[in-house]
Structure 1
């Protein structure tokens, strides 16, 4: 079969037993690998950027640069956490558990995975967790 596209994933209406077939897994593996490469590239760019020591005598300019660096580092920290989730999702593809809710073992759904390829809970399970979390926060 030809390589699946995002449109194919959105419009898939096959039988339930065909959920997360080889084509689906190949599509999401490629998507996750692409995201991983992008994040690693961003991290390398940040490293190079931060190594370029810009010396500015003006305190206002220096403060602006420091704020830009801090923002860039916060962004990379979020991306580092996402990278961990991507690597976990790739391991799930390898072990055959990708696409299934870790709480219920029910299919997460292709559209949800397309929107959030690192999702490991169904919408219902995620909502239940958020409700429990909200109850304990009150």
Structure 2
């Protein structure tokens, strides 16, 4: 399965801390009931807000001025760090579109169900990856097909 960058996990964990600590969806409830949908909606909104906050701090750092390291090695290192930071922000920009799509799926009562099989994705998977659109099995099959087509 595709790995999730550690920074994205940190931001998701921060978003989870902003939710009601007295409620976490569990398997004893009816799947995708209103309370679970509200939980995931708030989680996605909080996650998106955390990403925007993080992006704003990067933008502010960029506005503070260019890299002015006197040593060429220090300058190269700083430029490499900025390149990594900007790639991270681009990945998070794409993640925001996935979050928006997940919010639309919640509104249309499609959230939590595999887009391939129509089966429930599962609460544990959604808590770990709220933008998931496929069950673990469907995702693995998709990635195997993708790998085979890349190898051709």
Relative to the length of structure 1, the TM-score reads 0.86
Q: Distance in 2 between matches of 1:51 and 1:26?
A: 37
Equivalent position of 1:13 in the other structure: 28
Measured against aligned partners, the alpha-carbon deviations of 1:112-136 in whole angstroms (never above 9, x if no partner) come to: 1011000001112112212222222
1:111 aligns with 2:124: yes
In structure 2, stretches of 5+ residues that fail to align are 1-19
The structure with the largest alpha-carbon Rg is 1
Bigger helix share: 1
**Shift of residue 19, structure 1, vs aligned partner:** 0.9
Measured against aligned partners, the alpha-carbon deviations of 1:63-117 in whole angstroms (never above 9, x if no partner) come to: 2221121111011111111111111101111111100111111111111101100
- Structure 1 26/48 Cα, relative in aligned 2: closer, same or farther at 3 Å? same
Q: Distance in 2 between matches of 1:124 and 1:132?
A: 12
Equivalent position of 1:37 in the other structure: 49
| Aligned residue-pair number | 130
Relative to the length of structure 2, the TM-score reads 0.79
> Higher relative CO (CA 8 A, sep ≥ 6), structure 1 or 2?
1
Instruction: Give the CA RMSD over aligned residues.
Output: 1.6
Runs of 4+ in 1 over 4 A off after TM superposition: none
